[in-house]
Structures are given as C-alpha cells and as structure tokens.
C-alpha cells in the first residue's frame, strides 16, 4: 500500500499573517510521525518563510505550479529549482484552474512535471473532467488522455503523485460519490500499471474536490484512494488537521 499523503492547496490565498496556520499545523504533528505524509502547497510568496517555520517538523511545503525551464527570460514565472531552493519538496502541476486560466495543455503539464523531477521535487499531476464531459459520458476517455499526455517520459512510478480532481467538485461543496471516485481511481491505477508495470501500484493517487472533515473518512476509505488534495479546508489548521487525523486512523 502506498503511504497516504494529505496535501493542502492554498491556491491564491494567504498573507504573511496566515503563516500562523502553517505553524499550528506543523506544531500539531510529531516530527517522527510514521503516519500519513503531510504537505501544504502554498503561494510562492510564502514558501521560504513557511519552510523555515516548519523546519524539522513532519509538515512538508510545496508549490502550486512551476515553469518548464530552469531559468531565463520568463517574467513573473517561477522555476522548479527556485521552489526547491525556497524549501519546497513537492509542486502541483496541471491543476484544472491553471489548465483553464492559463491554457496549460497536457504537453505543458508534462514539461512542468519533468521540470519538477529535474529539480528534485515530487510533482502532483492533476487530472479531472468537467461537468459537461461527465454528462457526455466522456469521463474515462478524458482521464485516459490526460494521463497519457501529462506524465513525462522520464518519470518513475514512485517519483510522481497523481491527483484526480473532478472540476465540478472543486470549491462547489459538491463531492463526487464513492462510486464515481472508485471508478476513476481504478482506471488511473490500471493506466499506471500499464505504463510502469508493478511499480505503478506504488504511485499515490489523491482525490480532490470539496473534501472536508465531514466527508474525508468515507473518501479516504474508497479503493485506490491514497490521500487527498484539499483546497478550502486546508486554509484552517483545525480542519486540515482533522482530515489528517482521520487519515491516520
Ligand atoms: P476544494 O477542496 O476547495 O474543493 O479544492 C480542491 C482543489 O482544487 C485542490 O487542489
């Protein structure tokens, strides 16, 4: 069984004052904890400070995207090497908000994930269908295409994480049913095993979309769910820790 990963995604939320929540999370878990891995992916402006404030704790810090290149004339962008330098160990790539807001294609996502691997970060590669794709019965095709296009060629099964985030469940309070989650996670696992052989059984597959302390136990109990990628409920230390504790049971 892959080790469970409970990951937060603060998105474009958080000022220096909110680092108090990061400190509360890192102080609440024992440094030697052997339970689930715990991660907060933060806006780039907070990564260095959050890393130093959680140094030596069980909490890891990640970024929310990265540029494919290591450096150069790309005003406003941040490279995977810069995230690593600031103390990150993970980075989210291909979140549906970036696919929609910034036109990030599967090919771009794959190059971002490759950049993460180059820099020594673990990419969390996001896939997920829109509501109209689900209504059209295209879920499995959409996920298969995203999986084929978004995982870089040089990836090893243990070096990446996949997150299934149905777009219609993000920030809507509308959570996917256990059956819907199980169907897609099974498909993702099959695709990983096809690609990586037996090693594909070790890749973590996270669920994301309106996860909260009230529904986390059920979601985390679904077959092939190896953790969560949590937006809104990761902004408050109490809620995020409640989900972590459910995962640790
Ligand atoms: P919410 O938990 O706010 O629905 O966000 C999920 C998400 O997009 C995590 O990446």
On the CB side of 190, how many CA atoms lie within 13 Å of its CA? 9
Look up the CATH number of the domain holding residue 34.
3.20.20.70
Alpha helices, H only, 60-138: 80-85, 96-102, 106-119, 131-135
pLDDT below 50 — which residues of the chain?
none
Kindly report the protein residue whose alpha carbon is nearest to atom 1 of ligand 1.
Answer: 231
CA gap 90, 88 in Å, rounded: 6
**What is the structure's pLDDT at 173?**
87
Q: What is the pLDDT of residues 19-46, one digit of tens each?
A: 999 999 999 988 776 789 999 999 999 9
pTM of structure: 0.98
227 lines ligand 1 (CB under 6 A): no
Residue 153: φ, ψ to 5°: -60, -35
Q: Which atom of ligand 1 has the smallest separation from the CA of 41?
A: 10
84 CB contacts (<8 Å, ≥6 apart)? Answer: 119, 120, 121
**What is the structure's pLDDT at 1?**
85
CA–centroid distance, 12 to ligand 1, in Å, is: 12
CA gap 161, 149 in Å, rounded: 15
Q: Between vectors from CA 30 to CA 27 and to CA 34, what angle results, nearest 5°?
A: 140
CA gap 122, 13 in Å, rounded: 22
CA–centroid distance, 171 to ligand 1, in Å, is: 6
219 lines ligand 1 (CB under 6 A): no
7 lines ligand 1 (CB under 6 A): no
Please give the span between the terminal C-alpha atoms of the chain, in angstroms, as a whole number: 15
Q: Which atom of ligand 1 has the smallest separation from the CA of 233?
A: 2
Give the largest CA-CA distance in the chain: 48
For the chain, the C-alpha Rg in angstroms (whole number) is: 17
Q: How many domains does the chain have?
A: 1
CA–centroid distance, 66 to ligand 1, in Å, is: 19
82 CB contacts (<8 Å, ≥6 apart)? Answer: 44, 66
- Pocket test of ligand 1: the residue of 129, 163, 171 to mutate, having most ligand atoms within 8 Å of its CB, is 171
- Supply the range of the domain harboring residue 123: 5-248
Residues annotated as catalytic are 95, 165
**What is the structure's pLDDT at 117?**
98
């Amino acid at each position: 069984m892959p080790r469970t990963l409970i990951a937060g995604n603060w998105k474009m939320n958080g000022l220096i004052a909110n680092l108090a929540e990061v400190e509360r999370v890192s102080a609440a878990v024992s440094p030697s904890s052997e339970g689930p891995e715990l991660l907060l992916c933060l806006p780039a402006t907070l990564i260095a400070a959050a890393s130093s404030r959680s140094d030596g704790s069980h909490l890891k810090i990640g970024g929310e995207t990265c540029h494919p290149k290591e450096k150069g004339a790309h005003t406003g962008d941040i490279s995977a090497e810069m995230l690593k330098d600031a103390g990150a160990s993970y980075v989210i790539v291909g979140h549906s908000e970036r696919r929609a807001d910034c036109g990030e294609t599967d090919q771009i996502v794959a190059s971002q994930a490759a950049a993460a691997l180059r820099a020594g970060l673990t990419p969390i590669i996001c896939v997920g269908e829109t509501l109209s794709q689900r209504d059209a019965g295209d879920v499995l095709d959409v996920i298969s295409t995203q999986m084929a296009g978004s995982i870089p060629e040089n990836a090893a099964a243990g070096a990446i994480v996949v997150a299934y985030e149905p777009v219609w469940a993000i920030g809507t309070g509308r959570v996917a049913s256990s059956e819907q989650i199980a169907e897609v996670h099974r498909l993702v696992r099959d695709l990983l095993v096809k690609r990586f052989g037996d090693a594909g059984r070790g890749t973590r597959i996270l669920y994301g979309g309106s996860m909260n302390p009230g529904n986390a136990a059920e979601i985390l109990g679904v077959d092939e769910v190896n953790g969560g990628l949590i937006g809104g409920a990761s902004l408050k230390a109490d809620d995020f820790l409640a989900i972590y504790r459910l995962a640790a049971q």
